[in-house]
Amino acid sequence: MPRIHQLDVQLANQIAAGEVVERPASVIKELLENALDAQAQQIDIEVEQGGVQWIRVRDNGCGIAREDLTLALCRHATSKIIELADLEGIASLGFRGEALASISSVARLTLTSSDNISGAGWSVRLEGNLLAPVIEPQAHPQGTTVEIRDLFFNTPARRKFLRSEKTELTHIEQLVHRMVLSHFAVGFSLKHQDRVLLQLKPALDRLHQERRLAQVCGAEFVAQSHYIEIDNAEFKLWGWVGLPTFSRSQTDLQYFYVNGRIVRDKLISHAVRRAYDDVLYHGRHPAYVLFLELDPKGVDVNVHPTKYEVRFREQRQIHDFLFSSLHRALAEVRPGTAELSAPVSEEAMTDNTISAWAPTKIKTHGYQMPLPTVAMPSAIKESLSRYGEFLRPSSTEVVDVEKRPETESVMPPLGYAIGQLHGIYILAQNQEGLVIVDMHAAHERIVYENLKTAWQQQKLVSQPLLIPVGLSVSTAAAALAEQHADLFARLGFVVELSGPESIVIRQVPALLREANIAVLIRDVLSDLQEYGQSDRIDQRINDLLGTLACHTSVRAHRRLTLDEMNALLRQMEQTERSGQCNHGRPTWQVQSLKALDALFLRGR
């Protein structure tokens, strides 16, 4: 082995650059964070050849003093932290003091800045740290301009890993999209080869914010999303959550920010995914743009040089707050919510909404759960009896199109029924136009929500196992089972420690008697270890209740009276999550009079 020695400064900088500078988009990310930390109100980005040949980022922030220019290019040089205590509450986007040094070690960099409004500034140049910095006077308005040329010119091995110009430009556009959504008050522009790709003015109110949102995420997302704003003593969550019917085949429209910093965090993803339980079509992904604000001391952003990862001080509280807030927000979206009146466009049907509407068998995530053969709780029995016979078949009748209760002066959100189509759809007339309701899907949601309520009322109903189920687990899992015995008890289980690496299940919820209990408990313990909590038992119970609701709901091709159709419409308006059935399919759509007039060329 060679003797231990200290790395050359140039080599050390290039190694550090490998952590920060992956591609041109990585360079732009670091420069944008510096500009935003400098309180810039306008940031202009220009690139050539996908950013490999040339990048320029100009801002009108506070600027850099002449005597600090060369220092700004040194490693671990920053104005954002001074002492160790500052790391406990970082409020800035950048703070490591590595960006400019790392970039300048693998590219030709020119930094020009002015910290006053005199128009006089200074410029400093570096070429891969091969030459000493050269400082020259340069006319420049208050703010900073950074030019990067020939990225990886002195590290050809790194340059080989770059993709085509089109691919690198796509990464830049995606990065800029993420950044412009986190700072609505800042104006942005993006040019490639002198072609304007993005031009955004500051968005200081919700109307202009949604216009920016439409430019980045598409107008359909804005039309098919729900704005939320939830604030408590510790956390604030605001932004836009896509309606369940506006789902995606990939996770390409998910933006989550913590104190203005975009993050990718499995705890957050899990909480959001849980909130969409029961309303999202199998295999689809939700769309959202959400902002979480909390005390900087409650989140550690000093986890990775790219700063995409964070660590929360109170993980369980964050998870519960996100889940409960989003779960409630989605539950409250029902007929009568303004956002739901927007029709789904033909373009959106290709990807943003579910393309295959046919109902599928309820997914049970690998747990075999046939309809229970044991006695069900009385509350569920009552619900099945009541809501399973909510509508009765009737003979064909002629419907009075204008029939409307005289006591009601305001048209309800779903209006009044005017007839049935092929025994499958209810046609109704509301203030806006024509409402089409899938009667089975709608009734299925109503029954399902009532079954869940009934189960909650008798949640502790459990049944002893004739033969207890023994499991061999790890020492850590056994300790978790003992530690969370009260959680299992609340869910109707009796789980006991039978050895340092073994547990035994003696009682289970009556509804889960036929489930694969061993696999379920193992997965619950895995969740407890990963997230500190688990919702798998609730999910399995809900899967079963969903199956019950599906089998007991009104079937297609049943003729309904006008009163029965209107009764179903009123129930939909009162039921949470009634916009989707248990499978995630939409239960209703509306076609406005304006759209119908356009279809028949009226007024032309």
Please check whether residues 573 and 425 belong to one and the same domain. yes
Residue with tokens 């305001």: 410
Give per-residue pLDDT as tens, 487-529.
888 778 899 999 999 999 999 887 777 778 898 899 889 888 8
Predicted local confidence at residue 369, as pLDDT: 35
Structure tokens at 92: 């800035």
Domain end position, chosen among 348, 372, 401: 348
Exposure of 91 by Cβ count < 10 A (0-12 exposed, 13-18 middle, 19+ buried)?
Answer: middle
Residue 110 lies in a domain: yes
DSSP run (H or E) holding 434: strand 433-438
Neighbours of 546 (CB within 10 A): 23
CATH classification of the domain holding 458: 3.30.1540.20
* Backbone angles phi and psi of 200, in degrees to 5: -125, 130
Mention every residue, 6+ apart, whose C-beta is less than 8 A from residue 134.
124, 125
Distance CA 510, CA 512 (A): 5
Predicted local confidence at residue 15, as pLDDT: 75
Evaluate whether 559 touches 306 at the Cβ level (below 8 Å).
no
Residues of the chain with pLDDT under 50: 338-375, 387-390, 392-401, 406
Mention every residue, 6+ apart, whose C-beta is less than 8 A from residue 468.
504, 505, 506
CATH classification of the domain holding 32: 3.30.565.10
Q: How many CA atoms lie within 13 A of 326 on its CB side?
A: 33
CATH classification of the domain holding 338: 3.30.230.10
Distance CA 488, CA 508 (A): 9
Predicted local confidence at residue 14, as pLDDT: 76
CA angle 268, 272, 277 (to 5 degrees): 145
Q: Collapsing DSSP states into helix, strand and coil, what is residue 431?
A: coil
Evaluate whether 307 touches 301 at the Cβ level (below 8 Å).
yes
Predicted local confidence at residue 419, as pLDDT: 94
- Please compute Rg for the chain using Cα positions: 30
C-alpha dihedral, 438 to 327 to 207 to 59, nearest 10°: -130
Domain end position, chosen among 348, 379, 394: 348
Q: Which domain holds residue 531?
A: 357-604
Listed in sequence order, the DSSP H helices in 21-68 are 24-37
Evaluate whether 104 touches 73 at the Cβ level (below 8 Å).
yes
Predicted local confidence at residue 544, as pLDDT: 76
Residue 173 lies in a domain: yes
Give per-residue pLDDT as tens, 15-25.
777 777 889 99
CA distances from 246 to 28, 75, 264 (A): 31, 46, 22
Domain end position, chosen among 291, 322, 348: 348
Predicted local confidence at residue 384, as pLDDT: 54
Q: Concatenate the DSSP letters of all residues of 61-128 into one string.
A: SS---GGGHHHHTSTT--SS--SGGGGGG--SS--SS-HHHHHHTSSEEEEEEESSTTSEEEEEEEET
If one counts the domains in the chain, the total is 3
What pTM was computed for the model? Answer: 0.78
Residue 212 lies in a domain: no
Please check whether residues 550 and 512 belong to one and the same domain. yes
Distance CA 348, CA 210 (A): 18
Please check whether residues 180 and 307 belong to one and the same domain. no
Long-range (24+ apart) CB contacts under 8 A made by 165-172 are: 165/49, 165/50, 165/52, 166/50, 167/50, 168/23, 168/24, 168/25, 168/50, 168/51, 168/52, 169/47, 169/50, 169/51, 171/23, 171/24, 171/25, 172/24, 172/25, 172/28, 172/45, 172/47, 172/50, 172/51
Please check whether residues 70 and 178 belong to one and the same domain. yes
Structure tokens at 343: 């029709």
Residue with tokens 């003015």: 201
Please check whether residues 404 and 551 belong to one and the same domain. yes
Please check whether residues 172 and 319 belong to one and the same domain. no
The single-letter code of the amino acid at 419 is G
Going by the DSSP 8-state scheme, the letter that residue 227 receives in this structure is E
